[in-house]
C-alpha cells in the first residue's frame, strides 16, 4: 500500500480529485497518509478533515530563516512516512535536501504541456494568461517528477485541452483542471502505486 502525502497551498481541487479517485477505486493500492499546507486558511485542509485525513499547516512565515523552515518541513514530511509526495498546487520551493531524499518519489501537476509555459513565474492563472496572450490553440496539463529545476523533471503523463473562442484565463483554467489535471494526476498516482513507472536516464517508462 503506497503512502501518499499531498502538499497544497490553496483550495485543493486536485487534492479532491485524488481523494475521490482513492475512494472510488480509480486509484488502487494507495492511501493518503496526510496533507500539508503552508497556508492555515487553505480550504484543502478542510477537505482533508472531512475525509478523516491528517492535515497540517507549516508555513515559512513562522520561522526565522528559510533553512530553519526547510529542516522542520522535511521533519514533518518524514513523520508521515511517504512513499510518494504529490505537489497539488504547492507554492513553496521544495528544499534540495527533500528532493535528494525522495528522488523520483515527488510528483507535480503543472497546468501546461511542458516545455510550454513553465518554469519560474508560471503558476496558477499566469500560465493560462500567457497561453491566451500567445494565441495557442491547444493547452493542457503535465504530471512530472520533481528535480532541482522548475518544471524540469521527467514527464510521466500529459493531456491536451483545446482552447475555445472567447476563453478567459479563468474559463481556460477550469477546463484544463476538469479535462486534464483531475484525470492525469490520479492516473499517475495509480500507475506509480501499482509499480508501472520507472525512470531511466531521465526518461519515464510506463509498463503495460
Pick from 176, 187, 191, 145: nearest CA to 13? 176
DSSP 94: P
DSSP 99: H
Point out the catalytic residue in the list 51, 110, 128, 144.
110
CA dist., res. 97 & res. 131, Å (int): 33
CA dist., res. 154 & res. 143, Å (int): 9
Q: Is the peptide bond before 115 cis (omega within 30 degrees of 0)?
A: yes
Residues in contact with 134: Cβ distance below 8 Å, sequence separation at least 6, in sequence order: 117
Other CB atoms closer than 10 Å to residue 110's CB: what's the count? 23
Q: Determine the Cα angle at 70 with ends 69 and 74, to 5°.
A: 115
144 carries an active-site annotation: no
CA dist., res. 74 & res. 60, Å (int): 12
- The grid coordinates listed for 126 are 499566469
Cα dihedral value 93, 146, 28, 57, nearest 10 = -10
Q: Which residues are catalytic?
A: 110
Amino acid at each position: 500500500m503506497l503512502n501518499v502525502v499531498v502538499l497544497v497551498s490553496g483550495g485543493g481541487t486536485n487534492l479532491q480529485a485524488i481523494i475521490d479517485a482513492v475512494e472510488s477505486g480509480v486509484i488502487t493500492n494507495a492511501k493518503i497518509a496526510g496533507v500539508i499546507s503552508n497556508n492555515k486558511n487553505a480550504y484543502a485542509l478542510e477537505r482533508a478533515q472531512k475525509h478523516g485525513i491528517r492535515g497540517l499547516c507549516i508555513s515559512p512565515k513562522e520561522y526565522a530563516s528559510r533553512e530553519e523552515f526547510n529542516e522542520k518541513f522535511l521533519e514533518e514530511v518524514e513523520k508521515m512516512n511517504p512513499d510518494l509526495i504529490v505537489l497539488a498546487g504547492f507554492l513553496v520551493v521544495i528544499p534540495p535536501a527533500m528532493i535528494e531524499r525522495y528522488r523520483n518519489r515527488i510528483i507535480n501537476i503543472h497546468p501546461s504541456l511542458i516545455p510550454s509555459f513553465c518554469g519560474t513565474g508560471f503558476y496558477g492563472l499566469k500560465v493560462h494568461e500567457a497561453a491566451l496572450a500567445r494565441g495557442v490553440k491547444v493547452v493542457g496539463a503535465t504530471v512530472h517528477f520533481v528535480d532541482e529545476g522548475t518544471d524540469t523533471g521527467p514527464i510521466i503523463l500529459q493531456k491536451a485541452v483545446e482552447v475555445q473562442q472567447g476563453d478567459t484565463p479563468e474559463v481556460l483554467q477550469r477546463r484544463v483542471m476538469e479535462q486534464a489535471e483531475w484525470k492525469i494526476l490520479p492516473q499517475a498516482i495509480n500507475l506509480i502505486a501499482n509499480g508501472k513507472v520507472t525512470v531511466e536516464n531521465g526518461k519515464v517508462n510506463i509498463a503495460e
